[in-house]
Structure 1
Amino acid sequence: MRYLLSVALLGIAAVAFAQDPADIFHKTVDLDSINVVNLDVYEYDQYEVRQWPGDDILIETSVKINNGKPHILKFFLEQKRWDLKEEVAGDRLSLVSRDKVRRVVQGTQGTTSETVNIVVYIPQEFTAAGSNVYQRSTK
């Protein structure tokens, strides 16, 4: 009887803790000679810009794979699917989504989807200067 009870509790715990794979990763970007920052983020990613007292940009990306396996998340992390790449031209920095054509992944249990939330922490000395454009106010 105890054995069956133990197996039942383990089964319930396994089902309760079975979640879609998710991860949070961080990236910093140096702003020494940069005076203007432009954001060009994939249209279906949710993102927000916050100011912080640091000297660099900190990018925090949270990804959740819905109806997927952990190896799918690991593969796409290695491929930098959700990365914002840096493009510098003079004193202007553009942070651009590396993959803007995200193909849907077909699994054995149906189609997977992804939820991506990006928070870009920009130093306090940068102020909004238009749609997704931030300019250094002092230097």
Structure 2
Amino acid sequence: MRFLLTLAILACAALSFAQDPADIYHKTVDLDDINQISFDVYKDDQLEIKSWPGDDILIETSVKLNNGEPHILKFFLGKKRWDLAEQVSGDQLVLESVDKQRRVVQGTEFSTSETVSIVVYMPEDFSESGDRTYKRQSR
């Protein structure tokens, strides 16, 4: 009886530590010749812009797969499913989601959903000038 009770406690502890796979990754973008930045992000991603004293943009992307497996997360990180691509035209930069048609990941027994949160650390010399558009104040 004591063995079964110990086994039950261990099973509960193991299940409480089981979590959906998640990862946070970072990317920097050089802004030497850029005076305007705009964002075209996938509709379901959460985008937050914060000011910071740096000279470059720092992008922090947090991804959590609900009902997913770690190898699925690793596979899609390699495919840049949640990455922001840089499109430069003159002194304007557009950061846009690489995959704008994210299909649902269907497993053999379940489907996986994803929660993506993007925090962009914008240099202090940029200010908001419209919907998801920022312009450099100096220059």
Question: TM-score, with normalisation over the residues of structure 1?
Answer: 0.95
Deviation at 1:13, TM superposition (A): 1.4
| SS at 2:54 equivalent | coil
Deviation at 1:96, TM superposition (A): 0.5
Q: Could you tell me which amino acid in structure 1 is paired with residue 106 of structure 2?
A: Q
In structure 1, stretches of 5+ residues that fail to align are none
Give the equivalent residue in structure 1 for 2:77. 77
Q: Could you tell me which amino acid in structure 1 is paired with residue 22 of structure 2?
A: A
- CA RMSD for the aligned pairs? 1.2
Give the equivalent residue in structure 2 for 1:35. 35
Cα distance in 1, alignment partners of residues 105 and 133 from structure 2: 33
Where does 1:42-61 land on structure 2 (aligned, <5 Å)?
42-61=42-61
Alignment of 1:107 with 2:110, yes or no, is no
Aligned-pair identity in percent equals 65
Aligned length: 139
Deviation at 1:9, TM superposition (A): 2.8
Deviation at 1:103, TM superposition (A): 0.4
Deviation at 1:36, TM superposition (A): 0.5
Give the equivalent residue in structure 1 for 2:62. 62
Q: Could you tell me which amino acid in structure 2 is paired with residue 84 of structure 1?
A: L
Q: Deviations over 1:51-102 (max 9, x none)?
A: 1111100001110001111111110000000000111111111101000000
Deviation at 1:131, TM superposition (A): 0.8
Deviation at 1:113, TM superposition (A): 0.4
Cα distance in 1, alignment partners of residues 33 and 104 from structure 2: 38
Cα distance in 2, alignment partners of residues 23 and 62 from structure 1: 6
Cα distance in 2, alignment partners of residues 121 and 49 from structure 1: 6
Q: Deviations over 1:12-36 (max 9, x none)?
A: 1111011111111111001011110
Deviation at 1:8, TM superposition (A): 2.6
Cα distance in 2, alignment partners of residues 109 and 65 from structure 1: 15
Cα distance in 1, alignment partners of residues 10 and 108 from structure 2: 26
Cα distance in 2, alignment partners of residues 123 and 2 from structure 1: 61
In structure 2, stretches of 5+ residues that fail to align are none
- 4+ aligned runs moved over 2 Å, structure 1: 1-10
Deviation at 1:108, TM superposition (A): 2.3
Give the equivalent residue in structure 2 for 1:127. 127
